[in-house]
Structure 1
Amino acid sequence: MSMPGKDNDEMVSTKHEDSALLNSGLASSAGASLLVLTQIFTKLATFSLNQLLVQYVTPTVLGTASYWEFVVQTILFFSREAERLAVQRADSDVAANCAENAPHASNHADDAADDAADDAATSTKSSLQNVVNFGHLPLFVGIPMTVFMLVWSLRTQNAPILVLVSFLVIMELMAEPMYALNQFQLGFSKRSRIESLAVIGRCLTTFIGVVLAARTKNDVHAATAYVAGQLVYAAVVYIMYRNSSYKIRPISNAGLVWKRYFSPQLLSVWRGLFIQMIFKHLLTEGDRLLISWLCSAEEQGVYALVTNYGSILARVLFQPVEESLRLVLSKELSTSSSRTQTQMAAKNMGYILLMYFHLSVVMVLGGYNNGAYLLQFALGRSKALIWKETNVFQIFPQYILYLPFLAFNGVIEAFFSSTASELQIQKFSWFMLGLTAFILLLLYWLIQVQNTGLLGLMVANSTNMILRIIYCTTYMQKFLKTRGIKTSIWQSISRIRIGIFLAIALGLSQYITTEKLQVYGFPKLVLGCFTCLTYLAIIAASEKNLIRHAIKFKRL
Structure 2
Amino acid sequence: MSTQKVPSLLSAALASGSSLVLLQLFSRVVTFILNQALVRLVSPQVFGTTSIQFELLLSTILFLSREGVRNALLRAPPSTKSAPDRQITSQLITNISLLPVLLGIPTAMLSAIVYLSSSSSTTASQPHFRTSVTLYVLAAFFELLSEPLYIRTQNELRFHVRVRAEGTAVMLKTVVTFVALVCASEEWALVAFALGQTAYGLTMLASFMMACRGTLDFRPKRVSFTTEGGTKSLLFEPELFSLSVVMTGQSLIKHFLTEGDKFLVSRLSPLADQGGYAVAANYGSLIARIVFQPIEETARVFFSKTLSSTASEPEEKKTAVRSKDALQTAATVLLTLLLTFTHLLLLAITFGPPYLPLAISLVLPRKYLATSAPSILHVYVYYIPMMAFNGVLEAFFASAASPADLRAQSRWMLVFSGAFIAAAVGLARGLGLGDAGLVWANVANLALRAGYAWAFVRRYFHEQGAGGLIDWSQVTPPLPALAVFAVAAAIVRGSAASYKDVPFNLIAQKGHLATGIACLLGCLLTCIVLERKTVVQLVDPLRKAQ
TM-score by structure 2 length?
Answer: 0.86
Distance 1:444 1:87, change over 3 A: same
The answer for the alignment partner of 2:494 in structure 1 is 512
The answer to whether the Cα contact below 8 Å between 2:135 and 2:195 also exists between their aligned partners in 1 is yes
The answer to whether the Cα contact below 8 Å between 2:98 and 2:218 also exists between their aligned partners in 1 is no
Quick one: which amino acid aligns to residue 203 of structure 2?
V
Mapped to 2, the partners of 1:154 and 1:519 lie a distance apart of: 48
The answer for the alignment partner of 2:49 in structure 1 is 64
Mapped to 1, the partners of 2:542 and 2:406 lie a distance apart of: 36
**Cα deviations across residues 259-282 of structure 1 (Å, max 9, x unaligned)?**
842223222212221222111111
- Superposed, which structure 2 residues align to 1:97-496 within 5 Å? 119-154=81-116, 156=124, 158-213=129-184, 216=185, 218=186, 220-242=187-209, 243=213, 245-253=216-224, 260-335=234-309, 337-379=322-364, 383-384=365-366, 386-485=367-466, 486-487=468-469, 489=471, 491-492=473-474, 495-496=477-478
Count of matched residue pairs: 504
- Superposed, which structure 2 residues align to 1:68-107 within 5 Å? 68-91=54-77
Mapped to 2, the partners of 1:131 and 1:400 lie a distance apart of: 42
The answer to whether the Cα contact below 8 Å between 2:246 and 2:407 also exists between their aligned partners in 1 is yes
The answer for the alignment partner of 2:313 in structure 1 is none
Mapped to 1, the partners of 2:542 and 2:153 lie a distance apart of: 29
Cα offset, 1:546, TM superposition = 5.5
Cα offset, 1:19, TM superposition = 5.8
Cα offset, 1:285, TM superposition = 0.9
The answer for the alignment partner of 2:121 in structure 1 is none
Quick one: which amino acid aligns to residue 120 of structure 1?
S
The answer to whether the Cα contact below 8 Å between 1:513 and 1:519 also exists between their aligned partners in 2 is no
Q: Which structure dedicates a bigger proportion of its chain to helix?
A: 1
The answer for the alignment partner of 1:32 in structure 2 is 17
**Cα deviations across residues 362-412 of structure 1 (Å, max 9, x unaligned)?**
233332222232122123xxx32x223324223321222222111111111
The answer to whether the Cα contact below 8 Å between 1:59 and 1:302 also exists between their aligned partners in 2 is yes
Mapped to 2, the partners of 1:139 and 1:39 lie a distance apart of: 26
Cα offset, 1:321, TM superposition = 0.1
Mapped to 1, the partners of 2:6 and 2:382 lie a distance apart of: 39
Cα offset, 1:488, TM superposition = 5.7
Mapped to 2, the partners of 1:169 and 1:511 lie a distance apart of: 46
Matched residue of 1:390: which SS? coil
Mapped to 2, the partners of 1:18 and 1:150 lie a distance apart of: 47
Mapped to 2, the partners of 1:428 and 1:224 lie a distance apart of: 40
Matched residue of 1:318: which SS? helix
The answer to whether the Cα contact below 8 Å between 2:342 and 2:476 also exists between their aligned partners in 1 is no
Mapped to 2, the partners of 1:304 and 1:517 lie a distance apart of: 30
Choose which of 501, 507, 527 in structure 1 pairs with 2:515: 527
Distance 1:128 1:334, change over 3 A: same
Tell whether 2:525 aligns with 1:537.
yes
Distance 1:125 1:497, change over 3 A: farther
Distance 1:40 1:454, change over 3 A: same
Quick one: which amino acid aligns to residue 265 of structure 1?
E
Mapped to 2, the partners of 1:20 and 1:79 lie a distance apart of: 31
Cα offset, 1:205, TM superposition = 0.7
Cα offset, 1:355, TM superposition = 1.0
Distance 1:61 1:496, change over 3 A: farther
The answer to whether the Cα contact below 8 Å between 1:59 and 1:301 also exists between their aligned partners in 2 is yes
Cα offset, 1:354, TM superposition = 0.9
Distance 1:236 1:470, change over 3 A: same
Distance 1:194 1:466, change over 3 A: same
TM-score by structure 1 length?
Answer: 0.84
The answer to whether the Cα contact below 8 Å between 2:372 and 2:436 also exists between their aligned partners in 1 is no
Mapped to 2, the partners of 1:149 and 1:553 lie a distance apart of: 44
Matched residue of 1:289: which SS? helix
Mapped to 2, the partners of 1:127 and 1:32 lie a distance apart of: 28
Cα offset, 1:23, TM superposition = 3.3
The answer to whether the Cα contact below 8 Å between 1:139 and 1:174 also exists between their aligned partners in 2 is yes
**Cα deviations across residues 398-445 of structure 1 (Å, max 9, x unaligned)?**
222222111111111111001111111111111111211222122223
Give unmatched runs, 5+ long, in structure 1: 1-16, 96-118
Mapped to 2, the partners of 1:88 and 1:227 lie a distance apart of: 31
Distance 1:553 1:280, change over 3 A: closer
Distance 1:120 1:36, change over 3 A: farther
Mapped to 1, the partners of 2:407 and 2:343 lie a distance apart of: 34
**Cα deviations across residues 139-194 of structure 1 (Å, max 9, x unaligned)?**
22211122123323445262321221222111111111111111111111111111
Quick one: which amino acid aligns to residue 68 of structure 2?
A
Mapped to 2, the partners of 1:487 and 1:453 lie a distance apart of: 43
Quick one: which amino acid aligns to residue 186 of structure 1?
L
Distance 1:359 1:127, change over 3 A: farther
Cα offset, 1:294, TM superposition = 1.1
**Cα deviations across residues 45-93 of structure 1 (Å, max 9, x unaligned)?**
222221222222221111011111111111111111111001112229x
Mapped to 2, the partners of 1:406 and 1:325 lie a distance apart of: 14
Cα offset, 1:541, TM superposition = 2.0
**Cα deviations across residues 297-336 of structure 1 (Å, max 9, x unaligned)?**
1110010011010110100000000000000111111346
Distance 1:301 1:425, change over 3 A: same
The answer for the alignment partner of 1:111 in structure 2 is none
Quick one: which amino acid aligns to residue 275 of structure 1?
G
Mapped to 2, the partners of 1:211 and 1:553 lie a distance apart of: 50
Mapped to 2, the partners of 1:509 and 1:322 lie a distance apart of: 34
Mapped to 2, the partners of 1:422 and 1:400 lie a distance apart of: 35
Distance 1:499 1:222, change over 3 A: farther
Identity of matched residues, %? 29
Cα offset, 1:495, TM superposition = 4.4
Quick one: which amino acid aligns to residue 292 of structure 2?
F
The answer to whether the Cα contact below 8 Å between 1:365 and 1:532 also exists between their aligned partners in 2 is no
Distance 1:245 1:459, change over 3 A: closer
Matched residue of 2:36: which SS? helix
Quick one: which amino acid aligns to residue 244 of structure 2?
W
The answer to whether the Cα contact below 8 Å between 1:132 and 1:246 also exists between their aligned partners in 2 is no
